[in-house]
Amino acid sequence: MKKILVKILVLILVVLMWTGIASSELLKWDASTGNVDGYIVYYGTKTGVYPFSEDVGNVLAVGVENQDGALAEHFKLNPGTWYFIVRAYNIAGESGDSNTATLVIEGHVPPDDAYPIKIVVPSTTTITITRSEQPNE
């Protein structure tokens, strides 16, 4: 019986909504039923592929109403089209995926490999990064 209850809780989907008020960026969802410890927002630039995630705790929204750019700033997103899903979780595991929400951030769309680069080096190593200026034509 306990296994069935855990499976039911893990399979509960949360409903994801995009609040489309003109100057608002608020990603919100309905509460999942059952014992929920929190929610994880998964996101990426291709629908169905979410290489990034953030445990947002036991809240039902991320972003700020009436503040343009709130989600881009919160998740540190490059310009382009971003896709989001949410999963509820507890000690038994995560729920299934919510509906997908889409956010388009205006501006120059960088190539797929333009995400910030993480470099891990020994603490005794020094790395210098310089910006190369384009020659004037």
Take residue 95 and report the two structure tokens written for it.
């729920």
Instruction: Give the pLDDT confidence score for residue 108 in this predicted structure.
Output: 55
Q: How far apart are CA 7 and CA 100, in angstroms?
A: 22
Q: Give residue 63's region: left, alpha or beta (phi > 0; psi -120 to 50).
A: left
What is the average per-residue pLDDT within 71-99? 91
pLDDT at 23 over 60: no
The torsion angles phi and psi of 8, rounded to 5 degrees, stand at -60, -45
Q: How many CB atoms within 10 Å of residue 124?
A: 5
Please write the tens of the pLDDT for every residue from 29-46: 999 888 999 999 999 999
3.40.50.620, 1.20.120.140, 3.30.420.40, 2.60.40.10: CATH of 2-105:
2.60.40.10
